[in-house]
Chain A
Amino acid sequence: DADVTQTPRNRITKTGKRIMLECSQTKGHDRMYWYRQDPGLGLRLIYYSFDVKDINKGEISDGYSVSRQAQAKFSLSLESAIPNQTALYFCATSDVGSSNQPQHFGDGTRLSIL
């Protein structure tokens, strides 16, 4: 089984709909992250959480919200989806420590908003 699991893997929805992307991990890491990937732009950080009570905005948090339900679960919500939120979304985790800890990624959720 994958260490970082994202659901769903693919989703097509309409403008204005509320969407939730879910991430669960079995690595026992405290830190979790949500990124979006767009062609030619690399990965950009949306939100991150260093423990259950800690939520931080990333570079592009507008239009998104998150919930850290437990150490192992971190969900991303789009309250009212718009077409420019069409992208590939990744969840990642990392261990506690300095900035040299690598991040471990899920396989992504491909989201299309019509």
Chain B
Amino acid sequence: AQSVTQLGSHVSVSEGALVLLRCNYSSSVPPYLFWYVQYPNQGLQLLLKYTSAATLVKGINGFEAEFKKSETSFHLTKPSAHMSDAAEYFCAVSAASGSARQLTFGSGTQLTVLP
């Protein structure tokens, strides 16, 4: 079984401030982990993915995430928020093997960027 918990359904930051969106996962096998972003009236777009190579993963738009096995975490960060980063962000987990060949999504975090 696999699951994802995103701490904080809403996060607000000032423009130029650090963005930190939290994601913890559980998985009975080594996981693949993803972050997706959803802008209003659009589908989800892939930001980045972890696939057991480097633990620090760089994605699009200046975002990165670090896989920490000991903490079962995959938090998303960006050093300096921009107004265009306002969106909903979803963390997702997929089993690395076996029959669970599907994504399980967290409940999402709505990011607001204040001017």
Contact = CB atoms under 8 A, between A and B. Distances in A.
A58 B102 contact: yes
B104 to A, nearest CB: 8
A99 B95 contact: yes
B73 interface: no
Interface string A94-108: 000011101111111
The size bracket of the interface on A is: 20 to 34
Contact of B51 (A4, A41, A90, A100): A100
A90 B43 contact: yes
Contacts of A105: 36, 43-45
Contacts of B77: none
Interface stretch (B14-22, B62-70, B78-86, B105-113): B105-113
Q: A44, A50, A100: which has the most chain B beta carbons within 10 Å?
A: A100
B65 to A, nearest CB: 14
A50 B4 CA distance: 24
A74 interface: no
Interface in B89-114: 90, 94-97, 100-103, 105-108
Interface residues of B, number: 26
Given A99-B32, A107-B42, A40 B103 contact: no
Contacts of A45: 102-103
Nearest to A99: B94
Contact of A108 (B4, B43, B105): B43
Interface of A: 4, 33, 40-45, 48, 50, 58, 90, 92, 98-100, 102-108
Given A43-B105, A98-B96, A108-B41, 4 more contacts: A40-B107, A44-B105, A90-B43, A104-B46
Interface of B: 4, 9, 32, 34, 36, 41-46, 49, 51, 90, 94-97, 100-103, 105-108
Among all A-B residue pairs, the 6 with the closest Cβ atoms: A105-B43, A99-B94, A42-B105, A100-B51, A100-B32, A42-B107
